[in-house]
Amino acid sequence: MKINIIGVPLHYGCDRLGVEKAPNHLRKLGLLNRIRKHGHKTYDIGNLYVPDVPESDKFKKGYNLKYLDAIVEVNNNLAEIVYDSLQGDAFPIIIGGDHALGLGSASGVGMSFDDFGIIWLDAHGDINTTETSPSGNIHGMALGALMGKGDKELVDTYSPGNKVNPENVFLVGTRSLDEGEKRFVEEENISVYSMALIKEQGIKFVADDIIKKLRERRIRNIHFSIDVDSLDPSVAPGTGTRVDDGLSLDQFKLFVESMLATHLVKSLDLVEYNPDLDIENQTGEVVLDILDFISEKL
């Protein structure tokens, strides 16, 4: 398989420094060797340019919408690179950076395929809007914007309007939804597989149910967006928005393997690893192990 590694050193979406160091830090730890050892023709596309915005300008476009212009610019560029990768029959792996980049990566996939869905593996919903967000951090709005909710500039990233039908979105591992997000889930009937459900029914039940829905809805292409905080903090402490009672590494791998086995996954994000918050590279090694595992199963 041809794989394009795309680094996105973005921290504006979470408004916390450190996460932008992840792409280069993972390279130093041996990221490319972990992928190439499985026989993939792997290209390191390098890091996207992220404009330098002083903190004093972060609310330039509105009190509850931090760093909007820079985030839209980065996501437009990312969408184009992802689109070009897919047109060239490559599998793009996007290394963040924060989860605001999911807006660009999924937009590039949406331009490539009409019949696509999104699996969003995350402790959070990321479906807030400027009206519902308690922080103004755009990493918590990215998935909502992909479904057409929220600020018009975010919604219109790369192409006008929503990129994905809400019924084709699958939220997995969630355990921290804001009140506005809960209302959005109910209104749009989004498939949410919370940690409470996973504990009750098991991760295999979740995987099987999603696969069933993919078939029923004739979804033939998947963008798989993985947030490190989906894992329990005891496994992956190096992230900025830790939430207790997350996935074990075994649960995580079982789910990922099940999704990859569908052969529908065409692109993947891995986001929110913050080396500055890590403990003796524990999370860095877990992230490398995950990418090793993914590369083996592709």
What is the CATH number for 29?
3.40.800.10
Structure tokens at 212: 């069933």
What is the distance between the alpha carbons of residues 257 and 123, in angstroms, rounded to a whole number?
Answer: 19
Provide the b/e sequence for 107-137 (b: ≥16 CB within 10 Å).
Answer: bbbbbbbeebbbbbbbbbbbbbbbebbeebb
Domains of the chain: total: 1
What's the pTM? 0.97
Question: pLDDT digit string (tens) for 45-58?
Answer: 999 999 999 999 99
In angstroms, how far apart are the furthest CA atoms of the chain? 49
Contact 93, 3 (CB under 8 A): yes
Structure tokens at 61: 């476009």
- Which residue shows structure tokens 């990321």? 126
Host domain of residue 201: 2-297
Contact 228, 275 (CB under 8 A): no
CB hemisphere CA count around 152 (13 angstroms): 0
Structure tokens at 182: 């809960």
What is the pLDDT at residue 61?
86
Give the residue numbers annotated as catalytic, written as ranges.
Answer: 99, 122, 124, 126, 139, 227, 229, 272
Query: Interior CA angle at 218 toward 216 and 219, to 5°?
Result: 115
Q: Which parts of the chain have pLDDT scores under 70?
A: none
Who contacts 137 (Cβ-Cβ below 8 Å, separation ≥6)? 13, 14, 15, 66
The DSSP 8-state label assigned to residue 261 in this structure reads: T
Question: pLDDT digit string (tens) for 228-253?
Answer: 999 999 999 999 999 999 999 999 99
Pick from 265, 255, 256, 270: nearest CA to 222 = 265
Pick from 7, 10, 159: nearest CA to 81 = 7
What is the pLDDT at residue 186?
95
